[in-house]
Amino acid sequence: MYLVDKAAQERANDPIRAAVFGAGFIASGLLANLRNRTGVRPLLVVNRTVETAIDAVTSAGFEPVRVESDKDIESVAARPPAIGVTDNPELGTSSTFVEAVVEVTGTIEYAAKLISDALLKGKHVINMNAEIDAYVGPAFLEMAKANNCVYTVADGDQPAAEMNVLRYVNYLGATPLLAGSIKGLIDQYRTPATQAGFAAQWGQTPEMVTSFADGTKISFEQAVVANATGFSVAKRGMIGPSLEGPIEGATNVFDLDLLRSSGGIVDYVLDATPGPGVFVLAEMPDDSQKIYLDYLKMGDGPLYCFYQPYHLCHLELPSSIVRAVEYGDATIAPTHGLQVDVVTTAKQDLAAGHTLDGLGGFDTFGQCENRSLAADEDFLPIAAAQGCVLKNDVSKDQVIRYSDVEVPVGRFADELRNRCA
């Protein structure tokens, strides 16, 4: 973090110029945070509804300026604190004045196209969208390598927080066996109707809030970690034990032999404190260090719990921008290919002929499953489910297969998926 801060200070007079895609809850917070930060300047906001982008830019204390060309963006660049706004994604991915693209839309098809276009044009991409990374992240990583730029999932969300703790644990000489998240609620049958009030309270969409509550979001997040580490899941949907009390108690609720034999898993616990944090369970292979860990109040092993009691979303995201642009370093990326999928599971009985709705909807929830088994069983990834038409009746809690649906033709995200290892 010292080097990131140092680089940001060094670029105080020539900040990294970023195009932010999205103008929702998190994107708006990012813009407001960057108003008083050094080293990174939001030069452009791209949103499918320009009026929403204008509102987000104005609320953050910047001057919104509609732009239609790279020449317009050049003019905005010379007028801080102006920010260009547009509904044309190509302006953000192609502008010669943009160094980094920040994806905060939470979409699938739209994000797949814009991230690909940015990487093919040599722009660094900082992605706050776990859903698209878990689906096609390895294809993005290959594009980044081929075009000498960085593709990374952003600091601030659980995957990056877990990866930072994992790096720390490795540095200590310990062996990570579990990367986990602390959750307060998982109820697979929540819907936009049940979550509408909470969503309105926080200015989010009911579908986004539903994906948090029904387990889809954490499934995507843990798949991102698995694909970055080579870890697996111990069972479909993960174990997810309840742990009322301090997170250090997680050392007693996971089977050590299972962790060892798996080579490392991703999972979560419910109700532990402090939440909503992240944690890593690890062994210390050097027996001589165990007395010191005991002395330092880490317990007597064989498992030790390392944790971070928070993740701060958009407040931490700028560090990933600096890491990518100044150091060519990814915070977390799918370097191990597809290790874990998020598979489509019915929330209710669904009849043939029904068109599936999207993430956080009424029809389905996502569960983690090991990629090898998911491929063998022909399971439909939930990132591909929206718009699929059922060919067969599906029962509540049944995992939906490709053979159960007609998949819409011509979707770019699905083409990218076919390139992933």
Q: How many other CB atoms are there within 10 angstroms of residue 309's CB atom? A: 13
d(CA 180, CA 193): 29
For residues 68 and 197, membership in a common domain is answered with: no
Asked, for residue 420, whether it belongs to a domain, the answer is: no
Asked, for residue 182, whether it belongs to a domain, the answer is: yes
Give start and end residues of each alpha helix (H) in 349-397: 371-376
d(CA 328, CA 51): 34
d(CA 63, CA 82): 4
Query: In Å, how far from its chain's centre is CA 197?
Result: 24
What pLDDT does residue 421 have?
62
d(CA 217, CA 199): 15
For residues 162 and 288, membership in a common domain is answered with: yes
Q: What is the pTM of this model?
A: 0.97
d(CA 378, CA 382): 12
Looking at 327, 350, 372, the residue that finishes a domain is 327
Q: How many domains would you assign to the chain?
A: 3
Asked, for residue 44, whether it belongs to a domain, the answer is: yes
What pLDDT does residue 416 have?
98
Rounded to whole angstroms, what are the CA distances from 113 to 117, 145, 205, 217, 416?
Answer: 6, 17, 23, 21, 10
For residues 114 and 141, membership in a common domain is answered with: yes
What pLDDT does residue 58 have?
98
Give the residue from 211, 238, 208 showing the smallest Cα distance to 223. 238
For residues 264 and 320, membership in a common domain is answered with: no
What pLDDT does residue 405 have?
98
For residues 56 and 95, membership in a common domain is answered with: yes
pLDDT > 90? residue 411: yes
> pLDDT by residue (tens digit) across 314-357?
999 999 999 999 999 999 999 999 999 999 999 999 999 999 99
Asked, for residue 42, whether it belongs to a domain, the answer is: yes
* pLDDT classification of 199: cutoffs 50, 70, 90: confident
pLDDT > 70? residue 39: yes
CATH number for the domain including 51?
Answer: 3.40.50.720
Asked, for residue 253, whether it belongs to a domain, the answer is: yes
For residues 146 and 15, membership in a common domain is answered with: yes
Query: Which domain range does residue 346 map to?
Result: 340-411
> pLDDT by residue (tens digit) across 279-314?
999 999 999 999 999 999 999 999 999 999 999 999
For residues 148 and 283, membership in a common domain is answered with: no
Q: Which token pair is 293? A: 């860990």
